[in-house]
């Protein structure tokens, strides 16, 4: 599964610093909003210590982590939904993302120009209003499109019309669609529209270097909003994380110890995104490579095999499965098999987080 996340927010609140920290670009690449006319795009490895654990016991030519594409969308100012500040182009970049990371300014700084005082709740409301307005236009346009077909009695068009009407009514009130329950059929009807407000969101409270834990009033207002809408949030000092990402490992460890930081924000950020999207990881391990694969929670073994090659889904016969803990305990796959811990699973097996698999398929 190819995962894409879009970093969104108002202008001049640290989005590009978050992007540079997440992608390892370093502080030298940080820039102000609207300094470029194209979104920044990079692919990052998903940190996973289990890959190295597996490698301790399985010799291989290479290790391949799971990857996430991160898109830094230039600041969305008021009027973005109507094309202001190249809004339509930037909103288009968000449509292709699976999840949103909304950066919210939670610190005071004189050199960052703002037309109003720092107010996280107002910033969230302003950004999400633009997303709702953009979605409203999309839904209204498609509602008109299916209306004629629905009048002929087409059942699919009738369902689409009902779902679009429901979404349109919510968006008129500025409601983020992700905060309302939707049936599987309704989500399928909405899926082709690539709506922005139905995408999972992770709120990133961009805190100052005096509030790494996000205990200050600004960050806590973000935490309160996230709790109210059922979304995850994380405090992150983008400037410091950006500097840390550019350091050599020894210097970084020393600096983090001085600051009292236990780890970089990127692993926590990606872990929260995986949780919000309902994703998990399984591994394959052999002489050629040890690789992490991203699947959805609830996926069966044939679906997981299909991530390796589409033919594997249709030709699936069985899976041989063990856990990373089994490998640590027995030190080799041969010993796992001899100890009776190697499980043989069929087509109905629901994959578990951290499974290590070999798939037998008919080609």
pLDDT at residue number 33: 43
Are both 226 and 339 inside the same structural domain? no
Taking residues 146-157, report their average pLDDT. Answer: 90
Taking residues 32-40, report their average pLDDT. Answer: 58
In a domain, 285, yes or no: no
Are both 12 and 160 inside the same structural domain? yes
Are both 333 and 227 inside the same structural domain? no
Tens digit of each residue's pLDDT (9 = 90 or more) over 304-348: 999 999 999 999 999 999 999 999 999 999 999 999 999 999 999
Are both 147 and 245 inside the same structural domain? yes
In a domain, 280, yes or no: no
Binned at pLDDT 50, 70 and 90, residue 21 comes out as confident
Per-residue pLDDT at 81 exceeds 80? no
In a domain, 284, yes or no: no
Are both 128 and 204 inside the same structural domain? yes
Out of 35-49, 246-260, 270-284, 345-359, least confident range: 35-49
pLDDT at residue number 77: 67
Are both 141 and 233 inside the same structural domain? yes
Tens digit of each residue's pLDDT (9 = 90 or more) over 109-138: 766 656 678 999 999 999 999 899 999 999
Residue 42 Cα distances to 12, 24, 39, 63, 103, angstroms: 20, 10, 10, 20, 18
Taking a C-beta distance cutoff of 8 angstroms, is the pair 124, 224 a contact?
no
In a domain, 21, yes or no: yes
Contacts of residue 157, Cβ cutoff 8 Å, sequence gap at least 6: 146, 149, 150
> In the chain, how many domains are there?
2
Model confidence, pTM: 0.87
Out of 20-34, 221-235, 240-254, least confident range: 20-34
Per-residue pLDDT at 22 exceeds 60? yes
In a domain, 293, yes or no: no
CATH number at residue 341: 3.10.20.30
3-state SS class at 26: coil
The DSSP annotation for 49-86 comes to HHHHHHHTTS--SEEE--EEEEEEPPP--TTGGGTGGG
Are both 271 and 305 inside the same structural domain? no
In a domain, 287, yes or no: no
CATH number at residue 39: 3.40.50.300
Residues 238 and 73: their CA atoms lie apart, in Å, by: 16
Are both 32 and 138 inside the same structural domain? yes
Taking a C-beta distance cutoff of 8 angstroms, is the pair 102, 124 a contact?
yes
Are both 222 and 327 inside the same structural domain? no
pLDDT at residue number 31: 46
pLDDT at residue number 56: 97
In a domain, 114, yes or no: yes
Are both 174 and 211 inside the same structural domain? yes
Out of 39-53, 99-113, 319-333, least confident range: 99-113
Residues 350 and 353: their CA atoms lie apart, in Å, by: 10
Binned at pLDDT 50, 70 and 90, residue 103 comes out as very high
Are both 337 and 247 inside the same structural domain? no
Q: Which domain holds residue 90?
A: 3-275
Are both 316 and 215 inside the same structural domain? no
In a domain, 109, yes or no: yes
């Amino acid at each position: 599964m190819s995962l894409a996340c879009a970093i969104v927010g108002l202008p001049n609140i640290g989005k590009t610093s978050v992007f540079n920290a997440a992608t390892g670009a370093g502080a030298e690449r940080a820039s102000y909003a609207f300094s470029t006319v194209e979104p920044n795009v990079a692919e990052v490895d998903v940190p996973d210590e289990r890959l190295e654990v597996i490698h301790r016991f399985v010799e291989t030519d290479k290790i391949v982590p799971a990857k996430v594409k991160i898109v830094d969308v230039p600041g969305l100012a008021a009027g973005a939904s109507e094309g202001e500040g190249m809004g339509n182009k930037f909103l288009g970049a968000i449509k292709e993302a699976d999840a949103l990371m909304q950066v919210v300014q939670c610190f005071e700084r004189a050199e960052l120009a703002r037309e109003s005082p720092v107010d996280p709740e107002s910033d969230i409301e302003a950004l999400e209003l633009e997303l709702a307005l953009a979605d409203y236009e999309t839904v209204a346009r498609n509602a008109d499109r299916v209306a004629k077909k629905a009048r002929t009695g087409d059942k699919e068009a009738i369902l689409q019309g009902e779902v679009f009407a429901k979404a349109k009514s919510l968006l008129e009130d500025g409601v983020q669609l992700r905060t309302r329950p939707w049936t599987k059929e309704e989500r399928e009807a909405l899926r082709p529209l690539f709506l922005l407000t139905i995408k999972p969101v992770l709120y990133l409270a961009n805190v100052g270097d005096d509030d790494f834990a996000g205990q200050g009033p600004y960050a806590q207002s973000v935490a309160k909003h996230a709790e109210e809408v059922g979304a995850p949030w994380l405090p992150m000092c983008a400037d410091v994380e950006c500097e840390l990402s550019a350091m050599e490992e020894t210097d970084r460890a020393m600096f983090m110890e001085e600051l009292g930081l236990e780890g970089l924000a990127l692993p926590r950020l990606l872990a929260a995104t995986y949780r919000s999207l309902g994703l998990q990881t399984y591994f394959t391990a052999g002489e050629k490579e040890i690789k992490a694969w991203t699947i959805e929670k609830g996926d069966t073994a044939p679906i997981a095999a299909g991530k390796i090659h589409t033919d594997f889904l249709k030709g699936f016969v069985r899976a041989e499965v063990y856990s990373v803990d089994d490998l640590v305990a027995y030190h080799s796959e041969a010993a796992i098999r001899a100890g009776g811990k190697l499980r043989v699973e069929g087509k109905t097996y629901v994959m578990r987080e951290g499974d290590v698999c070999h798939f037998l398929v008919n080609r």
